Structure 1
Amino acid sequence: MKALVKERAEPGLWLADVPEPAPGPGDVLIKVLRTGICGTDLHIRDYDGWAQQAVRTPIVLGHEFVGEVVDTGAGVTEITAGDLVSGEGHLVCGKCRNCLAGRRHLCRATVGLGVGRDGSFAEYVALPASNVWVHRVPVDLDVAAVFDPFGNAVHTALSFPVVGEDVLITGAGPIGLMAAAVARHAGARNVVVTDVSEQRLELAREVGVSLALNVGEATIADGQRQLGLREGFDVGMEMSGRPEALRDMLANMTHGGRIAMLGLPSEDFAVDWASIVTSMITIKGIYGREMFETWYAMSVLLEGGLDLGPVITGRYPYTDFEAAFADAASGTGGKVILDWTA
């Protein structure tokens, strides 16, 4: 079968022929229909410092996908051939304290699909049935392909109550845009998204934010004044990993404000901890999705009319992966999809 492979310990990706996986006991074999390109995939392509530590070559990339079940291993009873499915990209041990307590998203032995084991940028992928989400109601294939990052957005956006609250989201990348759509759909009063890319801010306007603010031209405090906010934001969602973004967010939160932090900084940086203490700010780190409560929430949100269409801005056949990766790396668009049926 064809697959996108990190063949060598150097920058680049290769479209190669690899053996088709076989489902073992408890596994599901899936014919991949579409995949989404993630920032993690860009890091692996570039073979930066993180990728050099995290990845052992050769490996098939990819963890965002939708596909059709074609076979199941022994012991699989709730999933059948023909089911349309997406996959939870965090494979957990099932034995640690958190796994046994039902907190699988907190497993310390998590292995990432497409990072620690062969992934979904291929014509077929095998996955434990416990990591498979069956789409029981109709769903757009492009949206189903990005259920993994959509889950990051939902986990972040619903970490704190947002009904009637004023929400600040720093970073209008794909997950920030999806989080903005979720917060608005879930009943936030105002949703403000910041970035320095006008193209991405225009996407934020398409998903219905109250204010898309270019922080290269105006401050968050300016945005507050424009919206008539007197005491700051109630809920913050930090999606960029940028030190200045978190500092600006902290400076514009109300006392008792709550921040969900998904953006992953590339290095250590200082913040005003005295202000965090005296303003009684809560900061919660977010990594991945709650299995499978977040997935249930995703499906229900889509059933309720949540529209993620504006967030998906690039569609390519898998043979044009180089153009697709360049698009995803440009920092100006939303999610980029690879079609594996082309």
Structure 2
Amino acid sequence: MNGKMKAIVKHRKGFGAELQMVDIPQIKENEVLIKVKATSICGTDVHIYTWDAWSESRVNPPYVFGHEFSGEVVEIGSKVTSVEIGDFVSAETHLVCYECPQCLTGQYHICKNTKIIGVDTDGCFAEYVALPAVNLWKNPKEMPFDVASIQEPMGNAVHTVLAGDVAGKSVAVIGCGPIGIMAVGVAKAAGASQVIALDLNDYRLNLAKEMGATTVVNSKNEDPLAKINELTDGNGVDVVCEMSGHPIAMDQGFKMVTNGGRVSILSLPVRPVEIDITNDVVFKGITVQGITGRKMYETWQQVSRLLKSGQVDVTPLITHHFSLEEFKKGFDLMIEGKCGKVVLHP
């Protein structure tokens, strides 16, 4: 397909982005062209938009960013057999090499040569996006496009929560951004006996409550460690899902986990974090896990089934819809923390 399309372009190093007319991408023999129906703003996109230290070290403007989307296949390459024109799809955003030691042992999500759509390559804040067919996930026709667009970040939540057993256990989710809020819903669906959501933002704590949190804690107003002790009879929580990346909150996470518990970390601190390894890790005998991306494609199956079964309902989390032209409104809300998931419609 030839012609021009609207796209949100990270046009320079520094704050902001621009809506521009750019070329519709041309597909290779193993690729697919997708007409984007919905694309949601991720925390990573906010990092790129605001141009923090991580973005400065990783991103090379100008390019089209964005990586969470759903859409319809409109063109397929000559060697593509896994999808057809008219299929509704979302995409795994990690482009992996299939050749490194990790890939050769089936651990594609930690491929040492990973590139990320919308970070290292052109992304989906546009009318069309071109991707390798192997990265596509077929969506049921009845799944709303806005829900389908947030399966990728929901996969992060599922991977974090289900990296170990949570049935009958107490789970603390630290940091109630959109992925943290989804983690609340996943933990509840997986049978956690308590799901405690901690944040400084009452708006998002209320969303966490809607998603199934049994207790919400505003750490600005009360001591989170004292509250956890109260809720767990002084034992601490069995599982901590760390989504905040804040040094103080991370340290509290290691202090609130029970002996023999688990701390799974999805957050990306912007600087080194000091943790009391001796007392809060070694002597406690805890398991610490770094979580990146989604297991390809085990996590996608889990996400799809949780949504289809109704065990997790993400609709309370989708709080705002804007046209592509109104993208600045969406980013302003994300920066202010006055939203759940913001979805853009090209």
TM-score (norm 2): 0.95
Give the Cα separation in 1 of the matches to 2:223 and 2:187.
22
Match of 1:160 in 2: 164
Structure 2 matches for 1:1-342, cutoff 5 A?
A: 1-136=5-140, 138-275=142-279, 276-305=281-310, 306-340=312-346
Give the Cα separation in 1 of the matches to 2:301 and 2:147.
15
SS of 1:167's partner is strand
SS of 1:313's partner is strand
Give CA deviations for 1:169-226 in whole Å, capped at 9, x if unaligned: 1111100000000000110000000001111111111111110101111122332355
Contact 1:157 1:179 in 2 (8 A): yes
SS of 2:23's partner is coil
Contact 2:36 2:71 in 1 (8 A): yes
SS of 2:172's partner is strand
State the one-letter code of the partner of 1:286: I
Give the Cα separation in 1 of the matches to 2:163 and 2:141.
25
Give the Cα separation in 1 of the matches to 2:144 and 2:133.
22
Specify every segment of 5 or more residues in structure 1 that has no aligned partner in the other structure, as ranges.
Answer: none
Give the Cα separation in 1 of the matches to 2:206 and 2:162.
24
Specify every segment of 5 or more residues in structure 2 that has no aligned partner in the other structure, as ranges.
Answer: none
Give CA deviations for 1:37-77 in whole Å, capped at 9, x if unaligned: 11121121222222222111210011000000001101111
Deviation at 1:10, TM superposition (A): 2.9
Moved over 6 A (4+): none
Matched residue count: 340
Give the Cα separation in 1 of the matches to 2:52 and 2:226.
37
Give the Cα separation in 1 of the matches to 2:218 and 2:144.
31
SS of 1:194's partner is strand
Contact 2:229 2:236 in 1 (8 A): no
Deviation at 1:23, TM superposition (A): 1.5
Give the Cα separation in 2 of the matches to 1:74 and 1:166.
51
Deviation at 1:137, TM superposition (A): 5.7
Give the Cα separation in 2 of the matches to 1:103 and 1:156.
16
TM-score (norm 1): 0.97
State the one-letter code of the partner of 1:320: E
Give CA deviations for 1:98-120 in whole Å, capped at 9, x if unaligned: 11221110111111111111100
RMSD across aligned positions (CA): 1.2
Give the Cα separation in 2 of the matches to 1:293 and 1:37.
24
State the one-letter code of the partner of 1:132: L
State the one-letter code of the partner of 1:202: N
Quick one: percent identity of the two aligned structures?
A: 44
Contact 1:4 1:122 in 2 (8 A): yes
Give the Cα separation in 2 of the matches to 1:199 and 1:49.
27
Give the Cα separation in 1 of the matches to 2:175 and 2:58.
25
Contact 1:21 1:124 in 2 (8 A): yes
Give CA deviations for 1:258-288 in whole Å, capped at 9, x if unaligned: 0110111111121111111011011100111
